[in-house]
Structure 1
């Protein structure tokens, strides 16, 4: 599976040269931004690893093939569904982490142990890490009533373009099949895939009821497949591939670039 975009181009520069005289010392915000940047890229890489696995031909690595072709095909689809669902989860984690990235970059104070603590400046390792953990708990979906982005746009307008990037993306993404499938897997159950169900054969029996007034018959649910959330595994994978290159990558790239422009993190981080 060949992606047109390189997620590692989103990383901070790996080699840096700077003059110690007059160089900007790293602040909490600089360290927080670089930390979340790395975490996003790491999770993005995991998503692509599992996407590549959906095309694997190294099946002996996953299961021992048997003589029954139908059984082998079923095993391949089942393992492919695991890879697909893992990629689906990681892609959505990247989206959720983008909110955290922006919030900890734009926030200037956070309530910690009942006190309002300033984000600016430099703190000890213990205090900086504890403050970040507190701030991470404040992040919600961009359009949630409790989301702090509206307040931050007003109090810290330099970050308005970055927040607008997030809100625009979320408005387009939140109701897409990809997000709905992710929410289903996370909160409600496991999908049934049409490719796997075709190999399992038909139902044992069917039950019908007839309306006396109209003579219309309707079938009664008697098989678990009648009520499971079902879609094509192949189409789901193709949907994710297109989402990655055409939608997610430009979003993360633009958000990182905009935050980098505003924060101008110290080259020492």
Structure 2
């Protein structure tokens, strides 16, 4: 498996040239996540189209994790929308991952789905492999399957919009204030329920890695973030944006105190 970079300076867009360089004769699939955990990004329509075109160029099926599809922030851009890889006419076989856990806020249901888009029939062996995996690992109970239909058909869109609005409010609060902490430079979140911040480790006298930042912050201030290293992004930290703003006010003050305490100057 090859990992490609997403660029924070470009709203965490995938580095398409790097994907071209990494592709070899053992590469079987191109995987993308949009909107993104951990980045909190939401790709533009143009970038999604560029990814689909790249998959065609490289002759690779495309697997797109779109479980946060309904969670796009509109405060900074009222016209912001989510674009699926299924929105384009192409010969590329596409597998799209969705689920109930995030947008419907029912993680305990443990229910997701795969959509297979291949109008030209270019991936029959790929589809057969998916069927075999499905028979081995998939067995949602009847009650949950029935409940899903009710939830998808009858949950008011206004209710879903309110959930996303609350998450966005918290995300924007964090974005506007985390940058006040010594050594932290957040990237504006565009969707999902996360925010990523770069850690300038040179700003601290006794913190050498993002993992050490996470460990000391938890021990000293009882605030939990996640180190970017576990997402193959060393030098960053991920914050979730699902708690109320009142909680984040205190969390930010604790993070500020922590960063100041360990500051190099």
Which TM-score band (shorter chain)? under 0.3
Larger relative CO (CA 8 A, sep 6+): 1 or 2? 1
Larger radius of gyration: 1
Q: Could you state the TM-score of these two structures normalised by the residue count of structure 1?
A: 0.23
Structure number with the higher strand fraction is 2
Structure number with the higher helix fraction is 1
